[in-house]
């Protein structure tokens, strides 16, 4: 088949039915497309993609679900593929549903302060549309230029500004969801306390294992009239972390509190020149927003706390340009890392805020022992650590050392009273650690939640729960005929 | 600050009281006893354990047993200048969580749903189950706390919760406003704690740092006739669940006298809201959920979250 011809009806019955339900050019089964969709932004391999569909409507998503069910295939939703826990990696050649062509902002309803959007809308695109109207969508993951709102919902994503406003879950009021059996459910509502169980709350953060969100009602947050951005420098990471806990303890609720360590700052400076001091052991980027008088009170308070913790320098951005430069540094941190080593593994754990400094010290000790390089840039205000291990996977034995160090970082976080993930999810990355946090009964109840939506475990099987706790998943994976395992 | 130890032993006692068979119901303060329908049959009544287990003001979280009165909880939080999303109208913490009704000043204090970080409950088979985690940000596994909040105790019987707390605003002031569209009040004030409207007058809770509150009041005074109010108006007994846009037309939508929470959607009225039809597919999921969590229907029998 030459590439410029319209694809003809495929011979394979599954592909043929999908092509009939959508359009031949929106169902792809070529090696290039399947290879692309077999990965996400995580370091995990082992994905095998089946046919890749690009629906444009809820009805098409329903049709895909029903066809996949008839052919005994699982279905994996996929947004932009920026997930870091392997949530979108297809296991066992499922039908992959890319939401990229469902990217309309359906309605902006200022009276209810909500917007109805399709799942493929890019996070930043929504905020750009809202800004002139005086609103924005508060969750701002660092990947916001590319990640989709459907992916944000599925991973309950966070971002620097979620400290004051809450993560995605606090900003999703209602969902239209296509269940794995092809039925459409409306979850939640515009009421403050919708009737019935909070199935909307159960769906947000479910990593594509309960169905596919096809419409999302998100909350709009008014843009604050006054914003102040500060950069505090410290001669130790401990002082920066202590400042964060003390600010929270003092009852100040900044919009953002982000810490970057010296190695991260050096990488950022080499990359974009944000004006961060490269001689400080750590910097704290703090932002407060609200009304004029209050933000100045908060700035003074944060400065006092920083100085009491031996801040070597406290800088307040004097202009919008300076503010933008400070944020540019933080927001390009991951790009900067690419300059240091070809591969990175971004971890994501949460610890009580009072334990930040202790756990960070352990992180440095662990990576030293495993001879791995770490950079730290993280949502300190929530206690959300992001140790970023950089390496060159081509070097023999490196990946093993990176995984060994990662496992120890996870355990150190759990021992400090923390949890496995603050915003990236479990996916295939942390399944095997779930039993260290939860009992068999706890995991069994999580599996029941899953089964109420997806009794046959056909949506994104093999994710989140460890295999032993979701036996139906194993069946769904086994149902795949041999030969399609690529 | 740990005021109680051996929490596991207490929860184990509660689990033993719940047992593994026969209908059982938890009674908290009884303030919302009839919500979700009357109990059917002869359910054994049990009480959840009481007491604040661990309160860390600097961490902004509190671990509290379900049988603790919300008044005791709020008293403990107030000692450290803090508050939380649970309403303060009597009853127990567990009751407030499984009922899931938000406070009048919900816009300022957040919702109950968003405040519940971790739950420990006794399942229908008498096991102690934990969902969520004791930190402010967490996506580790499925969101059991969301499922329990507002479940009216039909999926598990709450023993203990970890709640997010918030700093109490430095200044709060209730004002009454006449001759102004209440929706404008909400647009003038950046983050009001509450905006209420009874069809004629409006009330607004302005809060924050003192100079900001003064500035907001000045802005309000330029647009409406405002006077200081002692507090919110008295609320009629029935709760209507509407969208914010419907609530701001409560005079057309709601029968009888009402107080509408503008920007939130909840309306308190002298008449009850007509029964709403649930989404049929969501109702199927909810039925399956109930069956999976409580196959014999022994937990709070007769109660349903679709009323
Ligand atoms: C450089 C970089 C920075 C990042 N920074 C952050 C950050 O600051 N905060 C943060 O929280 N995350 C961050 N992430 C992680 C990632 O961007 C988020 O998890 C994002 O929300 C994923 O969106 P996506 O569209 O790429 O989803 P995908 O990766 O395509 O999918 C993620 C999961 O969502 C499911 N899914 C997708 N769409 C739907 C749908 N419509 N219905 C049901 N399930 C669906 C998939 O099956 C999968 O399980 C970062 C990632 C990168 C690469």
Give residue-wise pLDDT tens across range A214-250: 999 999 999 999 999 999 999 999 999 999 999 999 9
Residue where the block lists tokens 């976080």:
A413
Kindly report the backbone phi and psi dihedral angles of residue B80, in degrees, each rounded to the nearest multiple of 5, phi listed first: -110, 20
- Predicted confidence at residue A478, as pLDDT, reads 54
Residues of chain B with pLDDT under 50: 1-5
Based on the fold, state whether residues B184 and B122 are members of the same structural domain: no
- CATH no. for residue B144? 3.30.465.10
- State which residues form the domain around B8: 2-168
Tokens matching residue A381: 């205000």
Given B168, B201, B230, which residue is the final one in a domain? B168
- Predicted confidence at residue A112, as pLDDT, reads 97
Based on the fold, state whether residues B23 and B139 are members of the same structural domain: yes
Asked if residue A248 has its Cβ within 6 Å of ligand 1, the reply is: no
* Residue A75 pLDDT grade (very low, low, confident, very high; cuts 50, 70, 90): very high
Based on the fold, state whether residues B30 and B129 are members of the same structural domain: yes
CA–CA distance from A314 to each of A65, A227, B278 (Å)?
A: 55, 17, 55
Based on the fold, state whether residues B176 and B163 are members of the same structural domain: no
Helices (H) and strands (E) in chain A, counts: 17, 20
Judge contact between A84 and A426, C-beta under 8 A. Answer: no
Any domain includes B281: no
Given B136, B168, B200, which residue is the final one in a domain? B168
On the question of pLDDT at A2 being above 60, the answer is no
Domains defined for chain A, CATH in brackets = 2-98 (3.30.43.10), 105-222 (3.30.465.10), 226-335 (3.30.70.2190), 341-450 (3.30.70.2740)
Contact list in A for residue B82 (CB cut-off 8 A) is 251
CA–CA distance from A406 to each of A263, A282, A387, A438, B133 (Å)?
A: 18, 22, 9, 19, 21
Asked if residue A98 has its Cβ within 6 Å of ligand 1, the reply is: no
Based on the fold, state whether residues B54 and B103 are members of the same structural domain: yes
* Residue A474 pLDDT grade (very low, low, confident, very high; cuts 50, 70, 90): low
Compute the distance between CA of residue A250 and CA of residue A300 in angstroms, rounded to an integer. Answer: 12
- What's the whole-number mean pLDDT along residues A189-196? 96
> What is the number of residues in chain B?
307
Residue where the block lists tokens 């004006």:
A275
Judge contact between B207 and B213, C-beta under 8 A. Answer: yes
* Residue A6 pLDDT grade (very low, low, confident, very high; cuts 50, 70, 90): low
Nearest one of A271, A250, A422 to A351, comparing CA atoms: A422
B52 has which bridge partners?
Answer: B64
Compute the distance between CA of residue A365 and CA of residue A370 in angstroms, rounded to an integer. Answer: 9
On the question of pLDDT at A4 being above 70, the answer is no
What number is the ipTM of this complex? Answer: 0.95
Select the residue from A111, A136, A183, A192 to test the B interface by mutation, using most B Cβ atoms within 10 A.
A192
Compute the C-alpha angle A65/A68/A72, nearest 5°. 135
Of B150, B156, B245, the CB nearest to A197: B150
Collapsed DSSP state (helix, strand, coil) of residue B127: coil
- One DSSP character per residue, A119-163 reads TT-BHHHHHHHHGGGTEE-S---TTTTT-BHHHHHHHT---TTHH
Based on the fold, state whether residues B136 and B235 are members of the same structural domain: no
A270, containing H or E segment: helix A262-271
Judge contact between A380 and A391, C-beta under 8 A. Answer: no
Judge contact between A416 and B249, C-beta under 8 A. Answer: no
Any domain includes B81: yes
Asked if residue A77 has its Cβ within 6 Å of ligand 1, the reply is: yes
Q: pLDDT (tens digit, 9 = 90+) per residue, A44-73? A: 888 999 999 999 999 999 999 999 999 999
Q: Can you list the alpha helix ranges (DSSP code H) found in chain B?
A: 7-18, 70-78, 93-99, 106-109, 112-115, 144-148, 182-188, 210-223, 244-247, 250-253, 280-293
- Predicted confidence at residue A11, as pLDDT, reads 86
- Predicted confidence at residue A259, as pLDDT, reads 97
Residues 6+ away with beta carbon under 8 Å from A4: none
Based on the fold, state whether residues B78 and B155 are members of the same structural domain: yes
Based on the fold, state whether residues B52 and B141 are members of the same structural domain: yes
Compute the distance between CA of residue A59 and CA of residue B67 in angstroms, rounded to an integer. Answer: 47
Nearest one of A208, A203, A167 to A188, comparing CA atoms: A203
Based on the fold, state whether residues B47 and B185 are members of the same structural domain: no
Any domain includes B54: yes
Contact list in A for residue B188 (CB cut-off 8 A) is none
Tokens matching residue A251: 């009852």
CA–CA distance from A199 to each of A19, A328, B119, B143, B151 (Å)?
A: 32, 37, 17, 10, 10
* Residue A473 pLDDT grade (very low, low, confident, very high; cuts 50, 70, 90): low
Nearest one of A337, A166, A168, A338 to A261, comparing CA atoms: A337
Of A112, A294, A434, the CB nearest to B244: A112
User: Mean pLDDT, chain A, as a whole number?
Assistant: 93
| Closest residue of chain A to B306, computed from CA coordinates | A196
On the question of pLDDT at A479 being above 60, the answer is no
On the question of pLDDT at A196 being above 80, the answer is yes
On the question of pLDDT at A482 being above 80, the answer is no
| Partner-chain contact B305 A197, CB within 8 Å | yes
- What's the whole-number mean pLDDT along residues A94-121? 98
> What's the domain count of chain B?
2
Any idea what DSSP says for residue A314?
Answer: E
Q: How far is CA B81 from the centre of its chain?
A: 20
Beta strands A75-78 and A52-53: pairing type? unpaired
* Residue A363 pLDDT grade (very low, low, confident, very high; cuts 50, 70, 90): very high
Given B168, B188, B219, which residue is the final one in a domain? B168
- Predicted confidence at residue B7, as pLDDT, reads 61
- Predicted confidence at residue A485, as pLDDT, reads 37
Rounded to a whole number, what is the distance in Å from the CA of B218 to chain A's nearest CA?
A: 13
Compute the distance between CA of residue B188 and CA of residue A358 in angstroms, rounded to an integer. Answer: 45
* Residue A267 pLDDT grade (very low, low, confident, very high; cuts 50, 70, 90): very high
Which residue is closest in CA terms to ligand 1's atom 50?
Answer: A143
Compute the C-alpha angle A143/A146/A148, nearest 5°. 95
Any domain includes B161: yes
Contact list in B for residue A206 (CB cut-off 8 A) is 142-143
Based on the fold, state whether residues B203 and B156 are members of the same structural domain: no
Q: Is A227 part of the contact surface with chain B (CB cutoff 8 Å)?
A: no
Any domain includes B143: yes
Based on the fold, state whether residues B8 and B146 are members of the same structural domain: yes
Based on the fold, state whether residues B38 and B117 are members of the same structural domain: yes
Any domain includes B205: yes
Q: Is A451 part of the contact surface with chain B (CB cutoff 8 Å)?
A: yes
- Predicted confidence at residue A10, as pLDDT, reads 85
Compute the distance between CA of residue A447 and CA of residue A470 in angstroms, rounded to an integer. Answer: 6
Compute the distance between CA of residue B242 and CA of residue B254 in angstroms, rounded to an integer. Answer: 10
Any domain includes B274: no
On the question of pLDDT at A475 being above 80, the answer is no
Q: pLDDT (tens digit, 9 = 90+) per residue, A374-417? A: 999 999 999 999 999 999 989 999 999 999 999 999 999 999 99
- Predicted confidence at residue A88, as pLDDT, reads 97
């Amino acid at each position: 088949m030459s590439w410029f011809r319209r694809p003809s009806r495929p011979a394979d019955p599954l592909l043929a039915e999908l092509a009939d339900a959508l359009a031949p050019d929106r169902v792809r089964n070529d090696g290039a497309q399947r290879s692309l969709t077999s990965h996400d932004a995580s370091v995990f391999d082992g994905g095998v993609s089946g046919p890749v569909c690009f629906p444009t409507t809820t009805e098409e998503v329903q049709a895909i679900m029903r066809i996949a069910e008839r052919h005994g295939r699982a279905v994996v939703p996929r947004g932009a593929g920026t997930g870091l826990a392997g949530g979108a990696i297809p296991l066992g050649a499922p039908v992959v549903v890319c939401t990229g062509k469902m990217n309309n902002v359906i309605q902006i309803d200022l009276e209810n302060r909500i917007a109805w959007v399709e799942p493929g809308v890019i996070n930043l695109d929504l905020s750009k549309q809202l800004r002139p109207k005086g609103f924005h969508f508060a969750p701002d993951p660092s990947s916001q230029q590319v990640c989709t709102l459907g992916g944000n919902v599925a991973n309950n994503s966070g971002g620097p500004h979620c400290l004051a406003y809450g993560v995605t879950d606090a900003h999703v009021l209602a969902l239209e969801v296509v269940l794995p059996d092809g039925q459409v459910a409306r979850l939640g509502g515009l009421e403050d306390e919708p009737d019935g169980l909070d199935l909307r709350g159960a769906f947000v953060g479910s990593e594509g294992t309960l169905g596919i969100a096809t419409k999302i009602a998100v909350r709009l947050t008014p843009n604050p009239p006054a914003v102040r951005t500060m950069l505090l420098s410290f001669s130790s990471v401990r002082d920066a972390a202590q400042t964060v806990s003390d600010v929270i303890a003092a009852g100040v609720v900044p919009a953002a509190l982000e810490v970057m360590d010296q190695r991260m700052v050096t990488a950022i400076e080499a990359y974009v020149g944000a004006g961060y001091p490269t001689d400080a052991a750590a910097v704290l980027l703090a932002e407060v927003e609200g009304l004029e008088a209050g933000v100045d009170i908060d700035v003074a308070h944060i400065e006092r706390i920083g100085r009491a913790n031996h801040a070597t320098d406290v800088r307040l951005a004097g202009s919008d340009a300076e503010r933008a430069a400070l944020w540019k540094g933080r927001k390009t941190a991951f790009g900067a890392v690419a300059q240091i080593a070809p591969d990175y593994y971004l971890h994501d754990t949460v610890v009580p805020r009072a334990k930040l400094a202790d756990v960070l010290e352990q992180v440095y000790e662990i990576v030293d022992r495993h001879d791995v390089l770490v950079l730290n840039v993280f949502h300190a205000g929530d206690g959300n650590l992001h140790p970023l291990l950089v390496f060159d996977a081509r070097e023999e034995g490196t990946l093993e050392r990176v995984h060994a160090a990662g496992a120890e970082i996870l355990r150190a976080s759990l021992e400090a009273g923390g949890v496995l993930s603050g915003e990236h999810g479990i996916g295939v990355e942390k399944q095997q650690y779930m039993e260290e946090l939860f009992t068999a009964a706890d995991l069994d109840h999580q599996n029941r939640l899953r089964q109420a939506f997806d009794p046959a475990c056909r949506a994104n099987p093999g994710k989140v729960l460890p295999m032993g706790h979701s036996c139906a998943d194993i069946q769904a994976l086994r149902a795949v005929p041999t030969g399609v395992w690529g | 600050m740990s005021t109680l130890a051996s929490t596991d032993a207490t929860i184990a006692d509660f689990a033993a009281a719940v047992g593994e068979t026969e209908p059982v119901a938890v009674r908290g303060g009884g303030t919302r006893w009839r919500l979700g329908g009357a109990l059917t049959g002869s359910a054994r009544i049990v009480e959840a354990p009481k007491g604040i287990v661990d309160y860390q003001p600097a961490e902004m979280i509190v671990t509290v047993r379900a049988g603790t009165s919300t008044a005791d909880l709020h008293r403990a939080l107030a000692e450290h200048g803090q508050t939380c999303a649970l309403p303060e109208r009597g009853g127990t913490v567990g009751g407030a969580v499984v009922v899931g009704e938000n406070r009048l000043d919900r816009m300022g204090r957040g919702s109950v749903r968003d405040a519940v970080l971790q739950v420990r409950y006794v399942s229908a088979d008498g096991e102690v189950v934990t969902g969520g985690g004791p930190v402010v940000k967490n996506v580790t596994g499925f969101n059991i706390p969301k499922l329990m909040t507002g479940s009216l105790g039909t999926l598990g019987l709450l023993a203990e919760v970890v709640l997010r707390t918030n700093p109490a605003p430095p200044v709060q002031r209730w004002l009454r406003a006449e001759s102004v569209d209440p929706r404008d009040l909400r647009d003038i004030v950046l983050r009001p704690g509450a905006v209420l409207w009874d069809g004629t007058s409006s009330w607004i809770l302005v809060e924050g740092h003192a100079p900001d509150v003064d500035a907001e009041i000045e802005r309000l005074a330029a647009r409406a006739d405002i006077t200081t109010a002692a507090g919110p108006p008295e609320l009629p007994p029935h709760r209507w669940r509407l969208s914010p846009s419907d609530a701001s037309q409560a005079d057309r939508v709601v029968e009888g006298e009402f107080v509408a929470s503008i920007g939130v959607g909840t309306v308190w009225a002298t008449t009850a809201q007509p029964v709403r039809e649930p989404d049929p597919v969501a109702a199927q999921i909810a039925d399956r959920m109930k069956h999976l969590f409580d196959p014999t229907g022994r937990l709070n029998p007769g109660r349903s979250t679709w009323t």
